[in-house]
Structure 1
């Protein structure tokens, strides 16, 4: 394999004919959104049950002690630790479930079209990757300046204090979230929108949906995520698949996690 301006082990999804050999086409845009909402709700329901049971089993005093702690508001420290463990176990389970659920959804559409429907290839165009990284660095510098001017922004990036919760959060942020979210948004959804609406509308809608998923009451976090969403969508278009966006997403999340951890 030779390396010029691109490393490409599989053909680009977007350069392939719109009809694959299997004849599998993506779901329509609105059907795709409803299906994604369905698997997300399903994933949250399963993750909630798993996280609740796991938190109880991990509680040092056993299951009954865990239930007693939930009924004792005066044990603020213990409840905070339980809350951290539960919230990150919930996030970990949900992020992990997103991967098989979205693959299963693509398989329902047509087993031979999973790669096409999720835009799975291993193309990493070097120039677009560097441009996207440069853009993200610029955005990070601006957001860093905003964090200095508005300290409340820094509270959005706090890490867990409990060691177990911190370890789980590292797995979620650095590995599971980039893979699951990119398969869903730049894979399944972007492919569905791109097929019907073209590049620009697909980039805008999917980026806004991705940012909306990061909702929190102040609405600052979704706004901070939006530039990253556009960079990931642009890279998805240039690379023809989700591998490059997954890689960029991992780089951004890993840098954010490690920098927050080292400076806290």
Structure 2
């Protein structure tokens, strides 16, 4: 009888072990299907050309829409007087606010339309403590890289790293003007630009391309978008600065899987540039 009891116990243990193996197998199978589904879902962005074109259209139309809205509003409330954005801090602030809001709204619409979740563009989770740590590491890496590249370019080409940049706010006559300029330059662009460039553009490219091609394309387009036109033609300072910045931001997006660290580094860079421009 003891032998039969032992036999039944062994059979029961084997049965439980077998069930455990099936659960593990089923879990792995479901996880693999989930990963495959996620990979396939991310490809809903479309091909690289489609992603680039969509990002360009969003960027361009958002600025046009913001300009039309502010010009129309000013015409209605000020009797047809033409507005000069660079001479009015309030008008420039509203313009940037409208443009960035249009960018964010357009990206969210595109993501939803293509059957994707916000996680596909790096907004699928809450901010974590390691996002802050990676942001600190990214900031140090960016300024180190910027110094090295600036020294090399200056020695080889006479690159002028101190060339003045047009930030859009030429008249800041009151504390309120300075406050809204700070918000417009340090807070709003990092949100809108990261959601568009490292969120939509990079994520869309990364769904079809390897890391380095996706990084280089994103950074080139980001740098080109920031080229300013001055009296002596294109000001390459902003282009080089943002091209290098994008390298770090893309690396952070890839490493953390989210946009929080890139947004923080972008905001810090704009804060440094703000105080350098207006208080340097």
1:177 paired residue number: 189
Deviation at 1:104, TM superposition (A): 1.0
- Gapped runs of 5+ residues in structure 1? 1-15, 71-77
Alignment of 1:89-238 (within 5 A): 89-110=94-115, 113-120=116-123, 121=125, 122-123=127-128, 124-125=130-131, 128-139=134-145, 141=147, 150=160, 153-156=163-166, 159-162=169-172, 163=174, 166-217=178-229, 218-220=234-236, 221-238=238-255
Larger RCO: 1 or 2 (CA < 8 Å, sep 6+): 1
Deviation at 1:210, TM superposition (A): 0.9
- Looking at structure 2, the residues matched to 23 and 256 of structure 1 have their Cα atoms a distance apart, in angstroms, of 38
Does the CA-based 8 Å contact 1:51-1:86 persist in structure 2?
yes
C-alpha change, 1:18 and 1:242, in structure 2 (3 Å) is farther
C-alpha change, 1:41 and 1:80, in structure 2 (3 Å) is closer
Does the CA-based 8 Å contact 1:92-1:169 persist in structure 2?
no
Task: Give the 3-state SS of the residue equivalent to 1:34 in structure 2.
Answer: helix
Which protein shows a greater Rg?
Answer: 2
- Which residue of 36, 61, 78 maps to 1:42? 61
- Looking at structure 1, the residues matched to 239 and 57 of structure 2 have their Cα atoms a distance apart, in angstroms, of 21
Task: Give the 3-state SS of the residue equivalent to 2:227 in structure 1.
Answer: coil
Compute the RMSD of aligned alpha carbons.
3.3
Task: Give the 3-state SS of the residue equivalent to 1:154 in structure 2.
Answer: coil
- Looking at structure 1, the residues matched to 205 and 40 of structure 2 have their Cα atoms a distance apart, in angstroms, of 20
Q: Does 1:17 align with 2:20?
A: no
Deviation at 1:225, TM superposition (A): 1.5
Task: Give the 3-state SS of the residue equivalent to 1:153 in structure 2.
Answer: coil
- Gapped runs of 5+ residues in structure 2? 1-33
- Which residue of 46, 63, 69 maps to 2:78? 63
Does the CA-based 8 Å contact 1:158-1:260 persist in structure 2?
no
TM-score, normalised to structure 1's length?
0.73
- Looking at structure 2, the residues matched to 194 and 253 of structure 1 have their Cα atoms a distance apart, in angstroms, of 26
C-alpha change, 1:243 and 1:259, in structure 2 (3 Å) is same
TM-score, normalised to structure 2's length?
0.69
Aligned length, in residue pairs: 231
